[in-house]
Chains A and B, each alone.
Chain A
Amino acid sequence: MSRKALRHLSDEALYKHYKDTRNPAVFRLLYCRHKDSLYRYSMQMAPSAAAPLLQKLWRGLLKNPPELHGRILKSWLFITINKLLKHEFSYTVKETAEGGSRQHRVLSAIQKLPPQLRNILLLHMECKLPLATVADIERLSLNTCRDMYHNARSKLNDDIYGSERKPWQVEVIEE
């Protein structure tokens, strides 16, 4: 199969082709499609452990390519990296909460979110996973997950732009 034809294949077809052929060029193509979003997600969830965990994820995939059973490859990648990251949460929360600068205002605001809200926000916004999948990952009902996602967004909004202005006078004073 030519390189041009490979580029037009879906993730799943490309992955199946890699599994059948074990061609490093095919893997490179697949890796390049997901490496940045995986890295961004991992870096925002556990900066110090991101690189080794990603290495572990890809090594596992190369060593023993999993059966997708009709699932989307991207979902499998983020579900797996999420499982690996959950072991790192205990110490990374403190570490990331202190980081941040004026240049990366949004990134540092995201770091201030509680881990679960941050995870839900990033999985949906950065990784483009549907909320139903995110709810499955977090083991929540879809409604709760949706509420938490909106909660994370409003918190972020408040943190970046400040809370909405409220009238200083709540009642009309009769003279």
Chain B
Amino acid sequence: MNNWEHQYYKEAEALASPPQLDDEVFKTAQTYKPKANLNHLVSRATVSCSVVIAILLLVHPAQYLGALTHQVSASDLMHEPVLRDWKDTAAPSIPKEDPWLKLRNQIHEGEYVALCHYWRAEQKSVDSNPLPQELRKSAKRHCRILPHTASRN
């Protein structure tokens, strides 16, 4: 570096930007407002929305529709549920009385009089209770066919 170059830098130091100019430029810079950090805002909005949605999901009554536990009331106690303890509460099967039991017993003992009598009466009337199949068969086998009843068979 030459002597005059050193001298130049010394002399040039006096030429500094005046404070008035700096102030003017800074004032202009102040008029441009800083940009909002959108990424920051977006992340904040996302978090807020997620929190609101979570709260809504937890609080919303639809969440619990059909999921309420059954509250036992006094009236419910009166009516027992249909399926609860069904085995215990099921109606006991009562064997029906066989209307032909007496007749069957007689056939079993070899007496066919009552059966034949019933069979002939049945053939005469329409409304009478019909004999069961096996009794009718045994009646046909053992009972004599009378002339005034033959037309119905």
Residues of A within 8 A of B (CB): 20-24, 27-28, 31, 35-36, 38-40, 43-44, 51, 54-55, 58-59, 62-63, 103-107, 109-110, 125-126, 153, 156-157, 160-161
A residues in contact with B105, CB < 8 Å:
none
Determine if B25 and A107 form an interchain contact, defined as CB atoms under 8 angstroms apart: no
Complex: A51 Cα to B22 Cα, angstroms: 10
Complex: A63 Cα to B18 Cα, angstroms: 22
Complex: A161 Cα to B14 Cα, angstroms: 23
Complex: A39 Cα to B21 Cα, angstroms: 10
**Option from B12, B22, B37 in Cβ contact (under 8 Å) with A107:** B12
Q: Which 5 pairs, one residue from A and one from B, show the smallest C-beta to C-beta distance? A: A35-B17, A39-B17, A106-B8, A40-B15, A58-B25
Comparing B27-35, B41-49, B72-80, B138-146, the segment that makes contact with chain A is B27-35
Name B35's closest neighbour in chain A (CB-CB): A22
Q: How far is the CB of B8 from chain A (nearest CB, A)?
A: 4
B residues in contact with A110, CB < 8 Å:
8
Q: How far is the CB of A92 from chain B (nearest CB, A)?
A: 15
**B interface bracket (residues with beta carbon within 8 Å of A):** 20 to 34
Q: How far is the CB of A159 from chain B (nearest CB, A)?
A: 9
Q: How far is the CB of A38 from chain B (nearest CB, A)?
A: 7
Determine if A105 and B35 form an interchain contact, defined as CB atoms under 8 angstroms apart: no
Please, could you name 17 A-B residue pairs with CB atoms under 8 Å apart, sorted by A? A21-B34, A21-B35, A22-B35, A27-B29, A28-B29, A35-B25, A39-B16, A51-B21, A54-B17, A54-B25, A55-B25, A58-B28, A62-B29, A104-B11, A156-B4, A157-B2, A161-B4
Complex: A122 Cα to B17 Cα, angstroms: 17
Q: Which of B18, B21, B37 has the most CB of A within 10 A?
A: B21
Determine if A62 and B32 form an interchain contact, defined as CB atoms under 8 angstroms apart: yes
Q: How far is the CB of A54 from chain B (nearest CB, A)?
A: 6
Q: How far is the CB of B37 from chain A (nearest CB, A)?
A: 8
B residues in contact with A21, CB < 8 Å:
34-35, 37
Given contacts A36-B17, A55-B21, contact A20 B8 (CB under 8 A): no
17 other A-B residue contacts (CB within 8 Å) besides A23-B34, A35-B25? A22-B32, A22-B33, A24-B26, A24-B34, A28-B29, A31-B25, A31-B26, A39-B16, A51-B21, A58-B25, A58-B29, A63-B32, A106-B4, A106-B11, A107-B11, A160-B4, A160-B7
Q: How far is the CB of B92 from chain A (nearest CB, A)?
A: 88
